[in-house]
Amino acid sequence: MEQERVPVLVVGAGYAGLSAATLLAWRDVPVMLVERHPGTSVQPKAFGVGPRALELLRPVPGIEEELTGVWAGIGDNMRIAIARDLADPEPHMIMGDEKEELAFMRELTPVAMVGAPQSEIERLLRVKAEELGADLRFSTELISLEQDDDGVTALIRSRDGDRLVRADYVIAADGWRSPLRESLGVPTTGKGTLGQMCSIMFDADLSGLVNEREVTLWYLQNDVFTGVIVTGTGVGAHVLGVNLAEGESAADFTTERCVDLVRLAVARPELGVRVLDKATFDIGHVLARTYRAGRVFLAGDAAHTMPPTGGQGGSTALQDGCDLAWRLWLVLTEQAGEQFLDTYDAERRPAGTLTADAQLANLGVRMPPAARVGYPEPLEDPVGLLLGLRYHSTAILDEPGDDGSILEDPRVPDGRPGSRAPHVELDWDGQRISTVDLFGSGFVLMAATPAGQGWVEAGRLVKERLGVRLTRLLVDDELMDVHGRFQERYGVGGGGAVLVRPDGYVAWRSKDAVADPVNTLEQALRRILSR
């Protein structure tokens, strides 16, 4: 049987799989992706890309421009409410004027809020991955997988027959039922299956109910059904999700019934409705106990299935894929030791669990039966999930006295190791950029002039010794600190330095000058990279 060789095999073409394939290809890592369906999703599914996910995707040329060119501004005009229907005179507003409520975000990140549907993002990622050279194979199914000390052998099946693929590593992004997770025997926790929902994609004239370029997300609670409706998506279609009652199945949702449900949801009995597509899916809360099984890494729903109440499931899956891409790149190019890959589970699993639990808590409030016994309480301040997640692993050199927290207020950035590197506006030869623009292609060492020159020279020597891609930058030299915030937001004095990873997280810092910056930096990088 014919056998092919590839460093990374990705299983599944959802958010996690496509983002991994795109970022691996962008880093010149050969990657093959197999997906049993003939193409990406036609259902809008999730809406919006969280700022953290977009920060990770934006180094790939064209992605941010294409998304923000059409969808920026829609994310800034979002209303979320609990109501009987769209004509409810007294809805309970969860989120009203998003522009005002999230105005502070512009101080924390250079990316725009984007309201694109999942179908559009998946389409864009597929195009980018193929442009960059990723081998994407649709209508192709993984049949079996065997691991050994040197790699993984996978049997895949397509219309052309069976073939073997030999890979160094595999990314299991094959959905919440994840046959790969099951075959590997990875145990799970969580509430399990919580119910089913029928997603009805429809076209209708909602003039007077939906404002132009405004996404409205309404959790509907009435005597006939509970569910959610998303309107004003700008894709020529809207989506109504209806929770299946006990004893119901997908067969109960005929086209005629779907039309009636849409009319009830928008409170327009005579509305002309055209049903474009419908699909039934499970709502679940399933958490893998480990994100790594030998040479296989779980990502997206295979790692953490969460209810859709909160809108962070898709963004979390995108972050998983992007996260695996840079870690695998470092190991495959021998910049990092193989044990470095253990940091994926150590960092992403607590983040995935926290996000899934937060959305489970929202489910109990927004989609009855409410006040479910044993459900967590909703987060008092959910903004931390957007930009305030902290990591702890051997790839982060915590400072003495670190409290080990995994959530912080991003409104008060302090540059601690384990936190997202803060946004600071810089001037680079007359062009305004953000520190966030500096991250993605490798490690970045930043120090402030004039005392920081020693760190820059140390970075040059350590880069040569270790063969690590490392950019050294002096703030207030070639980069001008426009508002004088660098030292405050990164917590370094005039003689200090900070090391930022490819994912834009602070790995290590020295608040002040040291006697031997070369040895200090080299030892820090060796520990971070499991060298």
The set of catalytic residues is 219
Q: How many CA atoms lie within 13 A of 482 on its CB side?
A: 13
Give the 3-state secondary structure of residue 117. strand
Look up residue 475 and give its two tokens.
Answer: 């703030």
Cα torsion 248, 250, 252, 255 to 10°: value is 150
198 neighbors 242 (Cβ within 8 angstroms):
yes
Neighbour-count burial of 411, counting CB atoms closer than 10 A to its CB (0-12 exposed, 13-18 middle, 19+ buried)? middle
Residue type, 113: M
Residue with tokens 């969860």: 94
Q: How many CA atoms lie within 13 A of 304 on its CB side?
A: 32
Nearest-angstrom CA–CA distance, 250 and 257? 11
Dihedral pair phi/psi, residue 276, rounded to 5°: -95, -35
Residues 6 or more apart whose Cβ sits within 8 Å of residue 329? 24, 27, 29, 502
Nearest-angstrom CA–CA distance, 83 and 73? 25
Residues 6 or more apart whose Cβ sits within 8 Å of residue 183? 144, 145
Closest C-alpha to 103, from 93, 115, 112: 112
Closest C-alpha to 299, from 236, 255, 259, 341: 341
CA 315 remoteness from chain centre = 3
